[in-house]
């Protein structure tokens, strides 16, 4: 499980396609030291996609690791579209007992949205906040509500509003600088994971006699 609080940014070194899978290699940027904490087989979220760390080179400069992308991952996420030099967000799983600073992010991307706009609220002003607009892929709108949680590129964000099939989100200056958002361009695809609680609630609603209660939320870690 992740929280959507990005620990570091990485840069794609290579993406090599093979028979049925692709091997993605990522170098850590700015010496954050995150790769040094990885062990073979550990989970790591790459722009919101939960992957398994392979070929860890913690002593290299810059430190790097590889991960295999299954056909489902290539079809469901943006990772298969990455090129050398692309910037990605990195996060390690949340240790048990750690306070949840963001929200529950599984690293199971629901679909690829489209970046519609990313505009400074006060253009030309250093430290301005930003407004991000993303067009949701089909079927996900029903899981998104104003002031609810959503993960975009693995970043835990709060929905400011929903208009048609678009969601808009207020982005703080720190989030803009410390994630790959500042490297993205209008029209690019972004990984979207809706709040898993909304999906569970929908599934339970279909079960006769079930209702969402405070007791259920507490029992399931919310």
List residues with catalytic annotation.
Answer: 2, 43, 50, 52, 70, 108, 158
Of 169, 144, 145, nearest in space to 157 by CA: 169
Cα(196)–Cα(199) distance, rounded to whole angstroms?
5
Contacts of 222 (CB under 8 A, 6+ apart): 104, 197
Six token digits for residue 62: 């810059």
Q: Bridge partners of 10?
A: 28, 88
Give 141-162 as a DSSP string: GGG--TT-EEEETTEEEEEEEE
């Amino acid at each position: 499980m992740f929280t959507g609080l990005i620990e570091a940014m990485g840069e794609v070194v290579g993406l090599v396609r093979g028979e049925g899978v692709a091997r993605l290699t990522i170098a850590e940027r700015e010496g954050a030291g995150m790769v040094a904490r990885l062990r073979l087989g550990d989970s790591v979220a790459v722009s919101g996609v939960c992957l398994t760390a392979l070929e860890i080179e913690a002593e290299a400069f810059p430190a790097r690791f590889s991960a295999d992308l299954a056909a489902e991952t290539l079809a469901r996420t943006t990772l298969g579209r990455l090129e050398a030099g692309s910037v990605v967000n990195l996060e390690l799983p949340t240790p048990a007992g750690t306070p949840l600073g963001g929200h529950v992010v599984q690293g199971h991307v629901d679909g690829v949205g489209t970046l519609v706009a990313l505009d400074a609220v006060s253009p030309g002003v250093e430290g301005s906040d930003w407004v991000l607009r993303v067009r949701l892929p089909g079927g996900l709108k029903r899981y998104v509500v104003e002031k609810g949680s959503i993960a975009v590129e693995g970043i835990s964000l709060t929905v400011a509003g929903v208009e048609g099939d678009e969601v808009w989100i207020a982005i703080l200056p720190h989030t803009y600088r410390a994630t790959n958002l500042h490297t993205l361009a209008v029209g690019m695809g972004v990984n979207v994971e809706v709040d898993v609680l909304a999906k569970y609630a929908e599934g339970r609603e279909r079960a006769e006699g079930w209702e969402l209660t405070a007791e259920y939320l507490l029992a399931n870690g919310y």
